[in-house]
Structure 1
Amino acid sequence: MTPTANPYARTYPHGPFTVVEVLGEIDLATAGFLADHLDAATSHPAPDVLVDLRHVDFFDCSGLRELCRADNRARERGGRLRLVSDTPRLHRLLRAASLFRRFPPLAHFPEPDQEPDPE
């Protein structure tokens, strides 16, 4: 079941992927709204989730915690979770948290029939 869109996240299909589009500011007060969408996106076997962070204004460790939790869940179910971001600010955050290798951001959505090259 897909959770209802809220001011901070919405989920939709894009080819074989489930996209969780993140919006606005993700912090301790709003990370739960993102978690609802990530939990739903990773609830089935072999999920292939793209987390679109291109429309995020602010993202802190609360959001990173939810990404790690969802990534663990996706892997446990034989799937994967990838980030889509072209924002240097978010790339710096991932590097500072030592998560850049775990989540090498994609600049755009991958084609459904090819493996993307991280950028």
Structure 2
Amino acid sequence: MQREPAAESRYLRLRRERGYTVLEFHGEIDIAAAAEIAPLLDAATEEPGARVVIDLGRIEFFDCSGLRLLYRARARVLDRGGELRLVCTHRLTLRVLRVTGLSRLLPPSPSLETALNRRQAASGSL
């Protein structure tokens, strides 16, 4: 049974596009934002075979709480046989993704269009 994405928050907007659930993060993604986003992210990633794109194109700040959200989403989607793609152009966030190694597991795309058009899942295994 396909469920509609959960309600939105001030830090997250959800929509369906070309068979993917797009989670568009907004503003400052810190511990407070992560606490608000986590239940919505869990709802969006609970279905078997979920196809999810996390779009960081509208963030202003992203700390380790945001990284935990990405790792959590990736684990939940892969455990359920789905795929997760990431959009990120924020220079400092890209650097953090590289330093932590997350960019190898979840290669960032420069745009939503690029992420949606990728031929292969961008959520590699550990």
CA distance in 2, matches of 1:75, 1:20: 17
1:89 is the counterpart of 2:92: yes
TM-score, with length taken from structure 2: 0.84
For structure 2, list consecutive stretches of 5 or more residues without a partner in the other structure.
none
Does 1:66 find its partner at 2:69?
yes
- In 1, the alpha carbon distance for the partners of 2:106 and 2:88 equals 10
Helix, strand or coil at the partner of 1:43:
coil
Moved over 6 A (4+): none
Larger helix share, 1 or 2: 2
- Count of residues in correspondence between the two structures: 118
TM-score (norm 1): 0.88
Are positions 1:99 and 2:102 aligned together? yes
| 1:108 aligned residue (103, 107, 111) | 111
Deviations 1:73-98 (A, max 9, x none): 10010011111112222110101222
Contact 1:47-1:77 within 8 A present in 2 as well = yes
Letter in 1 for 2:21: T
Report the Cα distance in structure 2 between the residues aligned to 1:69 and 1:112, rounded to whole angstroms. Answer: 21
Distance 1:97 1:14, change over 3 A: same
Cα RMSD (Å): 2.0
Q: Deviations over 1:24-82 (max 9, x none)?
A: 00111110222122111111110110001000000110111111011101001001111
User: Percent sequence identity over matched residues?
Assistant: 40
- How far apart are 1:114 and its partner, in Å? 5.0
Query: Does the CA-based 8 Å contact 1:7-1:23 persist in structure 2?
Result: yes
User: Is there any run of 5+ residues in structure 1 with no aligned partner, and where?
Assistant: none
